[in-house]
């Protein structure tokens, strides 16, 4: 015998599903022509069917987003779309016109509230080569941002914000941080005009260091070659070309440590 559908499902099976279920709505067992079951299974029993299952009313459904309905919506929106610009053929062209990239994540889950705390996180990335920066401004910006935000291998600055409770507030705060970093990097403070600064990624001033004070306490002559050698060995340690590898004892670092050791011995006349 061929099982016949109930009479109230006859119109549902014959008509367009997008016309019957056009918008997000709570589950209705008298409109959905599917034998769905959901709920706790009792001993020697099957799960409740859709007519007696309260669990189907609790969860969110996407019955309005079927593939035919999505195609129908896209066809309706296509007349409002414009063709993609021919000038933006490559990724480099897109990055040149839109240097700042914003990354956010939206979460959909069944719960008491649709808001997910992780959805407020905003991440903005920009390549420093797309900013107008001279040598001083670029060095200062990387120092202010820190190693955890600036990737030297691909020259990308990443700002991740999750302090504010709402995503829009985090977006505004990330824009403020990026703007503040840019304009602060162009400022030149009086203490930045001193000599003996690192030209790669660090800075060091002999007159403000503890080594300078130690030599001053020893009451030694500043013109002596011993003090000059000690000063150069200290600067060599402080202004290393690759500070991210300080934990690795390379050949260059071994030589710098050895020179510092010899200069200290001669300075203290040991």
Average pLDDT of the segment spanning 48-68: 85
pLDDT value at residue 197 = 54
Beta bridge partners of 156: 127, 151
Separation CA 206–CA 211 (nearest Å)? 8
pLDDT digits (tens, 9 = 90+) for 4-16: 555 555 555 667 8
Average pLDDT of the segment spanning 112-126: 87
pLDDT value at residue 243 = 52
pLDDT value at residue 49 = 83
Beta bridge partners of 265: none
- pTM score, two decimals? 0.56
DSSP state of 193: G
In the chain, how long is the greatest CA-to-CA distance? 112
CB atoms within 10 A of CB 144: 13
pLDDT digits (tens, 9 = 90+) for 215-250: 888 777 777 888 888 888 888 877 766 555 556 777
């Amino acid at each position: 015998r061929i099982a016949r559908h109930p009479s109230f499902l006859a119109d549902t099976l014959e008509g367009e599903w997008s016309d019957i279920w056009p918008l997000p709505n709570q589950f209705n067992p008298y409109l959905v022509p599917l034998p769905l079951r959901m709920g706790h299974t009792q001993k020697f029993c099957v799960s409740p069917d859709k007519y007696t299952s309260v669990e189907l009313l609790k969860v969110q459904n996407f019955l309005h987003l079927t593939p035919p309905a999505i195609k129908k919506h896209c066809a309706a929106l296509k007349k409002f779309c414009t063709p993609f610009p021919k000038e933006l053929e490559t990724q480099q062209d897109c990055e040149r016109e839109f240097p700042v990239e914003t990354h956010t994540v939206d979460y959909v889950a069944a719960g008491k509230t649709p808001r997910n705390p992780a959805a407020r996180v905003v991440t903005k990335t920009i390549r420093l080569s797309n900013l107008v920066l001279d040598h001083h401004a670029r060095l200062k910006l990387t120092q202010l941002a820190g190693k955890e935000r600036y990737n030297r291998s691909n020259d990308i600055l990443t700002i991740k914000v999750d302090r504010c409770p709402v995503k829009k507030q985090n977006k505004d705060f990330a824009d403020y941080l990026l703007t503040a970093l840019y304009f602060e990097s162009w400022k030149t403070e009086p203490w930045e005009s001193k000599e003996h600064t690192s030209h790669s990624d660090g800075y060091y001033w002999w007159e403000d260091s503890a080594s300078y004070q130690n030599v001053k306490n020893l009451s030694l002559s500043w013109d002596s070659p011993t003090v000059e050698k000690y000063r150069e060995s200290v600067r060599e340690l402080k202004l290393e070309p690759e500070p991210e590898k300080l934990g690795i004892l390379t050949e260059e670092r071994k030589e710098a440590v050895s020179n510092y050791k010899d200069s200290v011995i001669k300075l203290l006349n040991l």
